[in-house]
Amino acid sequence: MKELFRGYYKLTDKEIQNIWNSGFISLDTNVLFNIYRYSEETRKELLRVIQKYSTQLWLTNHSAFEFHKNRITVISEQIQIYEETIKAFKKLENDIVKNLKTPHLSKSVLLKFENTIAETIKDLEKKKDYYKRLLTDDNILSKISALFEKKVGSAFTSSEILEVEKEGEVRYRKKMPPGYKDNDKSENKYGDLIIWKELIRKAGEDKKPFILIIDDLKEDWWLRAHGQTVSPRQELSQELFSETGQSFHLYTPDRFLEFASKTEEVKQEAIDEVREIRKEEAQKFYDDRIFDVIKTNLKLNDFLKINYSNKISENIGRTFSASDFMKKYKLIDKVKGLNLLDNISMRDLINHKEQIAIYLKTMNAAAELQDAIKSIPKFDFNENRNDDINTNDSVS
């Protein structure tokens, strides 16, 4: 029976070892984007480790296309982050230095504070200028391009894309992975499915297994149960095996670095930073899940015209509970019971308090929301997975 349903069986240590030794290694678009988001030290370390597997690297054409298409946007986001951080430090300096009320700082402490703030702003300005230069002279792009020189797959034809999209409509209705969590996207809805189809084609043509390094945390890639990440979605493994006789494995970038560290030295600081970025993405993933429930169960679509790319208020990047939000805007009496929403990111909702207040007067919504929120599992993205080979094994 196992031979018929190989995708539903956990890979053995030997099978995972074989994928590392003989398979090709591909990167998801978001992994390439995050290279721009890491510190310089971590970026260099990750690229160095990836380079060690240069003979096995291969990139799907769609990932390469999306990377080039959105690269400038990612760089611009980093510039904006530095600008906002610099602005925040300048405001802090102004508030402390020019504050004529208590508490007062002693002159010696105040001088140290001013020097520290000035040094910090100078460093932030330097990094911001670096990202500005990337807009016209992108040395990160040059390094990534060199890594994947002659290692990018051929694009699907227009008719092949239409076939994938037609199949995607059926798969998404049935919630067949991957990509169905992107069904509400206005563009690139079938991007994950196109990437998956390219990987299947490559595995079949080369008769090789593969590793996909991915920064996508959605459940249309990962199988999760009771808050644990079990493995890649078994339907994907079964589909790949049925069509090609091959197997594959998923790794997040930090897990990839950990695995690579078994055979060579990898800076722990780099692993920690990559993991921290993943944890931030995990929290955003969970926040978005709850936000989806709010929109679905409370039918807030007419009230909340949220655009995640819009500039948001001074609270940008701040996560605080809905109970804080309700208290801040004196809505707690009107929506009694909605303190159930702790841990929701309100950074996009902050500008829509009036519209929310109008709708949340309906107390029946609280009961509906309570049931819906309870149905969402809160995944622990920090736990160690048991789907890798034994830590005493090595990668050759």
Reported as a single tens digit per residue, the pLDDT across 312-331 is 333 333 333 444 444 444 44
218 and 336 fall within a common domain: no
| pLDDT per residue as tens digits for the range 222-262 | 887 776 778 899 999 999 999 999 999 999 999 999 988 88
Residues 261 and 279 in one domain: no
- Asked whether residue 256 falls in the same domain as residue 281, the answer is no
Does residue 205 contact residue 192 with C-beta atoms inside 8 Å?
Answer: no
Q: Which two tokens stand for residue 278?
A: 């993943």
**Per-residue pLDDT at 240:** 96
Percent of the chain with pLDDT strictly greater than 90 = 49
Contacts of 372 (CB under 8 A, 6+ apart): 293, 296, 297
Q: Are residues 228 and 326 in the same domain?
A: no
Residues 333 and 231 in one domain: no
pLDDT of 339: 39
294 and 245 fall within a common domain: no
Q: Does position 310 have pLDDT exceeding 50, yes or no?
A: no
Best CA proximity match to 141, nearest among 56, 74, 81, 71: 71
Asked if residue 362 has pLDDT above 70, the reply is: no
Global confidence as pTM = 0.73
Q: Are residues 73 and 5 in the same domain?
A: yes
Q: Is 87 within a domain?
A: yes
Q: Are residues 261 and 302 in the same domain?
A: no
Please give the pLDDT value at position 47. 95
What confidence tier does 368 reach under pLDDT thresholds 50, 70, 90? low
Specify whether 221 is located in the same domain as 302.
no
Evaluate whether residue 46 is within a structural domain.
yes
| Residue-level length of the chain | 396
Residue 67, domain extent: 1-150+197-266
Residue type, 108: S
Average pLDDT in the chain: 77
For the chain, the distance separating the N- and C-terminal CA atoms, rounded to the nearest angstrom, is 32
For tokens 């920064």, what's the residue? 215
Mean pLDDT, rounded, for 24-52: 94
Read off the pLDDT of each residue in 147-151 and give the average, rounded to a whole number. 96
Tell me: pLDDT of 374 over 80: no
Q: Minimum mean pLDDT among 41-55, 134-148, 329-343: which range?
A: 329-343
Lowest mean pLDDT segment, chosen from 95-104, 122-131, 216-225: 95-104
**Token couple for 290:** 């709850």
Judge if 60 and 9 occupy the same domain.
yes
Amino acid code (one letter) for 339 = N
**pLDDT > 80? residue 205:** yes
Question: pLDDT at position 304, please?
Answer: 38
pLDDT at 40: 93
pLDDT score for 350: 47
Comparing 168-182, 195-209, 352-366, 368-382, which segment has the lowest mean pLDDT? 352-366
Higher pLDDT, 157 or 4: 157
Residues 204 and 290 in one domain: no
Query: Could you give the number of structural domains in the chain?
Result: 2
Per-residue pLDDT for 214 more than 60?
yes
Which carries the bigger pLDDT value, residue 62 or residue 352? 62
- Is the domain of 3 the same as that of 106? yes
**pLDDT tens digits, 17-28:** 999 999 999 999
| For residue 159, pLDDT beyond 70 | yes
Spatial separation of the C-alpha atoms in residues 195 and 198, rounded to whole Å: 5
Q: How confident is the model at residue 370 (pLDDT cuts 50, 70, 90)?
A: low
182 part of a folded domain:
no
From 246, 266, 286, give the residue that closes a domain: 266
Specify which of 104-113, 139-148, 183-192, 251-260 reaches the highest per-range mean pLDDT: 139-148
Contacts of residue 382, defined as CB under 8 A and 6 or more positions apart, other chains included, come to 279
